[in-house]
Amino acid sequence: MSDGALIALTAEAAAARIADGSLPAAEYAEAYRARAAADRAAADDGLNCFTWVADSVGDHRAGPLAGVPVAVKDLFCTAGVPSQAGSRLLEGYLPPYTATAVRRLEDAGATSHAKTNQDEFAMGSSTENSAFGPSRNPWDRERVPGGSSGGSAAAVAAGLAPWALGTDTGGSIRQPAALCGIVGLKPTYGSVSRYGMIAFASSLDQAGPLTRNVRDAALMLRHMVGRDECDATSLDYPLEIRLPAREDLAGVRIGVPAELTADGIEAGVLARFSEALALAEGLGATIEQVTLPTAPHGLAAYYVLAPAECSSNLARFDGVRYGHRVEGADLTEMYTRTRHDGFGREVRRRVMLGTYALSSGYYDAFYDRAQRVRTLIAEDFARVFASVDIVATPTTPTVAFRLGEKTADPLAMYLSDYCTVPMSLAGIPAISIPAGLVDGLPAGLQLAAPAFKENELLDAARALELALAFDGSAAYV
């Protein structure tokens, strides 16, 4: 099969062909491995999607995903393979164990031969905060792929991986998926084990798929979910994740919150959003205006809670047990120098912000208040889901921005997650699917559902995906 024909296959189709013997697994995996290796070798002339690519394709287990390679975000620990979280501090770190999410995919037969670039410790919305240089958007190489799972998103969009594993704390799967014209799913908090995911904000972090279509997202998720005794917040997923087959939306009630669909959203993005809603109506859905009055405060609460948890989680990077060390005259100086040199600017900023918010005298005004705002946001969603099945918003306020455009202004960068953060705070599942192009750049449609309603969410996303008929092949390299 030609490279072009291989790349055109969905992961689901490739798995089926490998299973029936019409596609040799080694040929399929090697095609992707070689493409990933070429991107890595191209350095600044490529997309810089990868932080590590294996020299050869390894063996795989028997199973429903047998022989299908998955690109894995650098944030996941993979035994004996560099797992650096995009950080200088963890450069060359080789973990002794593999993250549960990765291991479960491998148990289902998937292989992993590449780690993907990301914002350092998943802190960022552009992948420009990687210690290993920014990734580029395959739709326009002068623009960012989004972040923090930007390497995963760009690799899938560019045909350098059939699908990829990412993580989402406030939008880090959905926002890069939107900016790269692919599908990205953040599952219900707790449905996928966080064991082996280098922790950023533990009450928000979730692993999820980045794929070229909704069925592939369902297929990957099916093999990731479930209770893991190594993660006390993980849960038994109550149902099997189905591969969605629905082509209509009859009887589906879609709520459109005014707070996330007006102010601050670019006109072109809003236009694609309105067209998608019209298509949904054509498929039989009813569209209702709803209100999420606390949602506009989501970013403020998020930028207390996430940095607070980050400042605590990142205390482990002290130059003692793993990673980079800068020597000092005494123990404290070794710590402070190691952390200064090992952490990039955004990570230092978040550690400072979180430490400030948790420091004596500020706890009530910041952390405690943010946790109460979080409750209000969850209550907003609960009220809305009493009358609708799905909440729809644009995924991001803008299409992909230029490299360097927002690096000097943290608040402007943080606004990239305006529409995705409320769902993260509420712990509910949300998916971004491509809604179309704005001046040649992809815009995303975000759909959200109540906790553990992934099947209904995927059904709605699939029906809309078929109606939207987005063609992302122009981004293939």
Partner 1 sequence: MIGRDEVLYVAALARLELREDEIEPMAAELSAVVGHIEKMSELDIDGVEPTSHVVAVTGALRADEPRSCLPRDVALSQAPAVADDGFLVPSPQA
Could you say whether residue 369 binds partner 1 (CB under 8 A)? yes
Q: Is 115 marked active-site?
A: no
**CA neighbor of 215 nearest in space, from 188, 244, 239:** 244
Could you say whether residue 257 binds partner 1 (CB under 8 A)? no
Which one of residues 22, 56, 332, 386 is an interface residue with partner 1 (CB under 8 A)? 332
Could you say whether residue 232 binds partner 1 (CB under 8 A)? yes
Closest distance of CB 367 from partner 1, Å: 9
Could you say whether residue 301 binds partner 1 (CB under 8 A)? yes
| Dihedral over Cα of 147, 152, 155, 157: its sign | negative
Closest distance of CB 14 from partner 1, Å: 33
Which one of residues 19, 334, 466, 467 is an interface residue with partner 1 (CB under 8 A)? 334
For partner 1, the closer CB: 284 or 293? 293
Q: What does the alpha-carbon distance between residue 206 and residue 216 come to, in Å, rounded to a whole number?
A: 18
**CA neighbor of 476 nearest in space, from 9, 105, 1:** 9
Give the number of other Cβ atoms within 10 Å of residue 258's Cβ: 13
* Number of residues this chain uses to bind partner 1 (CB under 8 A): 71
130, 172, 193, 234: the catalytic one is 172
Could you say whether residue 131 binds partner 1 (CB under 8 A)? no
**CA neighbor of 303 nearest in space, from 227, 252, 369, 248:** 369
Q: Is 148 marked active-site?
A: yes
Which one of residues 226, 375, 405, 467 is an interface residue with partner 1 (CB under 8 A)? 375
From residue 401, give the alpha-carbon distance in Å to each of 21, 176, 262, 438, 441. Answer: 43, 11, 19, 12, 10
DSSP letter string over 16-32?
HHHHHTSS-HHHHHHHH
Q: What angle do CA 279, 283, 289 make, to 5 degrees?
A: 65
Query: Which amino acid would we find at residue 202?
Result: S
For partner 1, the closer CB: 148 or 338? 338
Report 190-219 residues binding partner 1 (CB under 8 A): 190, 203
Could you say whether residue 335 binds partner 1 (CB under 8 A)? yes
Could you say whether residue 322 binds partner 1 (CB under 8 A)? yes
For partner 1, the closer CB: 141 or 369? 369
Contact by Cβ (8 Å): 48, 86: no
For partner 1, the closer CB: 351 or 445? 351
From residue 463, give the alpha-carbon distance in Å to each of 213, 248, 259. Answer: 11, 6, 25
Report 13-52 residues binding partner 1 (CB under 8 A): none
Could you say whether residue 62 binds partner 1 (CB under 8 A)? no
For partner 1, the closer CB: 401 or 418? 418
Q: What does the alpha-carbon distance between residue 400 and residue 5 come to, in Å, rounded to a whole number?
A: 28
Neighbouring residues of 361: CB distance < 8 A, sequence distance ≥ 6: none
Which one of residues 138, 176, 184, 427 is an interface residue with partner 1 (CB under 8 A)? 427
Closest distance of CB 296 from partner 1, Å: 9
Closest distance of CB 447 from partner 1, Å: 19
Could you say whether residue 439 binds partner 1 (CB under 8 A)? no
Could you say whether residue 372 binds partner 1 (CB under 8 A)? yes
Location of structure tokens 């969905």: 10
Q: What does the alpha-carbon distance between residue 145 and residue 180 come to, in Å, rounded to a whole number?
A: 6
Could you say whether residue 235 binds partner 1 (CB under 8 A)? yes
Contact by Cβ (8 Å): 202, 232: no
Closest distance of CB 379 from partner 1, Å: 8
- Which among 16-24, 142-150, 284-292, 333-341 is the span making contact with partner 1, rule CB under 8 A? 333-341
Could you say whether residue 371 binds partner 1 (CB under 8 A)? yes
Which one of residues 410, 466, 467, 476 is an interface residue with partner 1 (CB under 8 A)? 410
* Helix (H/G/I), strand (E/B), else coil: 198: coil
Q: Is 193 marked active-site?
A: no
DSSP strand E in 327-454: where?
A: 390-394, 430-438, 441-448
Residue 76 φ then ψ, to 5° = -85, 135
Provide the annotated active-site residues: 73, 148, 172
